[in-house]
Amino acid sequence: MSLSAALTSRAAAAVDVRRAGRSATVSALMPLAAVVVLAALPFLVYAGVTDTLVNLFVLIALASMWNLLAGFGGLVSVGQQAYIGIGAYSVIAFAGQGVQPYLAILLAALTSVIFAVPTSWLAFRLRGDYFAVGTWVIAEVYRLVVVRVDSLGGASGKGLTGLAGIDQTLRGALTYWVALGLAFASIATCYLLLRGRLGLSLMAVRDEETAAGSAGIDVRRAKYLVYLVAAAGCGAAGGVITVSSLSVNPDAVFSVQWSAYMIFIVVIGGIGFIEGPLLGAVVFFALQQFLADYGSWYLVLLGAIGMAAALWLPGGLWGVMRDRTGLSLFPVGYHVRL
């Protein structure tokens, strides 16, 4: 062996490349412990508490999907409510055909993916701000189409069938567990996707699409896959919303307010971090609970918090926490030690 080869081999042996440090491995057990505790809540608290937490889990799932799109894929969408509405009405349609509503949530996710395939052909022709506006327009088109379908209730919406024979307490617990499972599955899906080569490809595309393409990354494939996954997650969330509220209204489920919620949660929580939507959803949920009775001042305060986070906390609350503590619940990067 030559001297240069020996030095190279010795230098490589002195470098330790790991996914995360020991502290991150220990901290990764915290989300699993939290899921176990949350799963037991229907046996420990009143039904009103679990009914309220369903909304929190839906927000976590939606924000995680938007963060996957924008924070890692660079696709800033203002039209994810299209798939929330498609998922919600899919549950109504499948339940009307005799499918158990909780099972219909899975079919709603699949239906959203089917609709996302032709939608992506249109949306991906646009770039940047045009993509964001175009997704909102597409969502409005879907809403207008649904309003004109009499079998789906038209402009007044439609009630959910298929749950009348289930005890109300059991139904509330089942809805809670399904919503908790959706939030967990959304975070786990983002984590598993981002730990592989797709995660590296997405972050390269987000940072500089042209350079990523010249490096051999299939930019369109990476964006396409992320778009379909986000559609499935939002569709399942729409299904949970329908099962929770027992009815659906086109103006509510196709409202651009859902996208506003996602953006706000991700911005204050930390865009580009898997933990960001989780923390941001908790903060947003708390603000909803304590300030919703203040009317327009509640919206003013949300706007002020959002602008302050965008200006002074570009990494969000989780970015600040990670910089100060080094904590990482879902490590997807690499650490190099000598």
- The candidate with the shortest Cα–Cα distance to 289, out of 56, 22, 8, is 56
What's the domain count of the chain? 1
| Domain annotation covers residue 326 | no
- What's the pTM value of the predicted model, to 2 decimals? 0.88
Q: Which whole number is the average pLDDT over 281-305? A: 84
The pLDDT of residue 171 is above 60: yes
| Domain annotation covers residue 6 | no
| Domain annotation covers residue 323 | no
Report the percentage of the chain scoring pLDDT > 90.
53
| Domain annotation covers residue 58 | yes
| Domain annotation covers residue 327 | no
The band of 337, judged by pLDDT with boundaries at 50, 70 and 90, is low
- More confident of the two residues 137 and 14: 137
| Domain annotation covers residue 53 | yes
pLDDT of residue 77: 93
Residue 243 belongs to what domain range? Answer: 34-259
pLDDT of residue 7: 38
User: Cα–Cα distance between 319 and 138 in angstroms, integer?
Assistant: 33
Give the 3-state DSSP-derived string for 150-209, with helices as H, strands as E and coil as C. HHHCHHHCEECCCCCCCCHHHHHHHHHHHHHHHHHHHHHHHHHHHHCHHHHHHHHHHHCH
Minimum mean pLDDT range among 211-215, 232-236, 245-249, 295-299: 211-215
- The candidate with the shortest Cα–Cα distance to 191, out of 86, 299, 280, 64, is 64
| Domain annotation covers residue 304 | no
| Domain annotation covers residue 20 | no
